Structure formats: structure tokens, C-alpha cells
């Protein structure tokens, strides 16, 4: 199984665990990363965005997690930005960064785009349809959808 985690998923194990849903998602992310059959795809874009985490301790933990578990790295190309811009517009995603992550997952040949972002999960039907029309078979999932509770 090939997965690409967006920043919400990478951050989840270090979020405030006062809500049960966050605890379940955090544990699911860790279990998913620890599966031997999982290939974890990261991107230069994700690594650059992690540097924007203001909490120094959280930044250190998330950086370590990405370094420890990433097996492959996707590099950005101009064509990806064009596709991400189209995806953002077509599916009415509020942040271009989210669209870029999704497109990078496609270019990394990920099977799953793993996110805890509510907007992306709500719009996954549109995202998967749009990408399918472009020849990609990416599935957008919450970590709990992959049966790693």
C-alpha cells in the first residue's frame, strides 16, 4: 500500500488529545506508518511546509516522524501546479496547498491520500472524480478508513 499523508495527518499524533476522535486518528496514523507493507511518500513541498510550524517542539516531532517513516520523495514540477490549480477550482478547495499535496500524491503513485482535514474529506467525491478523469486512481481517506484503529 502506497500512502501520502498531508500535513494534518503528519501533525495528528502531536495534536491535543483531549478529544476522542483526535486520539483515534493519531493512533491510526502511527499504526499506519508502522505497517511493514506501507510505502510512505513525502514531498519536498511537505517538508518545506513543516518548517512553518511555529511550535518548536511540535516542529521537531513532526520533522522526525517524516524523516523516520518516508520511503520516497516526490519533487515538484510545473505541470503539478497547473493541475493543482485546476483541482482547487473544480472542487472548490479553500487552499491551494491542499490541492498541491493531493496532486503530489498522484505523481508519487500513491494509492491513498491520508488526511484528517474535514474539508478535504467532505470533498473527496469531487476530488476522486476529477483525478479519475485525469487518469489517476487516488483514494482520499481519513486514517480511520484504512482499518488501523
pLDDT at 68: 94
Q: Which residue do the cell numbers 467532505 mark?
A: 122
pLDDT at 16: 92
Does the pLDDT of residue 149 top 70, yes or no?
no
Give 17-73 pLDDT, tens digit per residue: 999 999 999 999 999 999 989 999 999 999 999 888 888 888 999 999 999 999 999
**Mean pLDDT across 3-27:** 95
pLDDT at 66: 94
pLDDT at 14: 95
The total of structural domains in the chain comes to: 1
pLDDT at 148: 61
Query: What's the N-to-C CA distance of the chain in angstroms?
Result: 17
pLDDT at 147: 75
Distance from C-alpha of 9 to C-alpha of 11, rounded to nearest angstrom: 5
Range of 48's domain? 2-146
Distance from C-alpha of 104 to C-alpha of 102, rounded to nearest angstrom: 5
Give 68-104 pLDDT, tens digit per residue: 999 999 998 888 999 999 999 999 999 999 999 999 9
Q: Angle of helix 124-133 relative to helix 96-107, nearest 10 degrees?
A: 50
**Mean pLDDT across 119-139:** 98
**Mean pLDDT across 123-136:** 98
Q: Which CATH number characterizes residue 126's domain?
A: 3.40.50.1010
Amino acid at each position: 500500500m502506497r500512502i501520502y499523508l498531508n500535513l494534518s495527518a503528519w501533525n495528528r499524533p502531536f495534536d491535543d488529545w483531549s478529544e476522542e476522535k483526535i486520539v483515534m486518528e493519531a493512533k491510526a496514523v502511527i499504526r499506519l506508518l508502522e505497517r511493514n507493507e506501507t510505502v510512505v511518500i513525502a514531498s519536498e513541498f511537505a517538508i518545506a511546509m513543516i518548517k512553518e510550524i511555529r511550535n518548536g517542539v511540535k516542529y521537531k516531532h513532526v520533522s522526525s516522524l517524516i524523516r523516520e517513516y518516508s520511503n520516497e520523495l516526490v519533487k515538484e514540477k510545473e505541470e503539478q501546479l497547473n493541475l493543482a490549480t485546476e483541482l482547487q477550482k473544480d472542487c472548490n478547495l479553500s487552499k491551494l496547498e491542499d490541492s498541491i499535496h493531493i496532486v503530489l500524491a498522484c505523481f508519487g503513485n500513491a494509492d491513498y491520500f491520508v488526511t484528517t482535514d474535514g474539508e478535504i474529506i467532505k470533498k473527496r467525491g469531487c476530488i476522486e472524480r476529477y483525478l479519475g478523469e485525469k487518469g489517476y486512481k487516488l483514494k482520499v481517506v481519513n486514517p480511520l478508513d484504512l482499518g488501523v484503529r
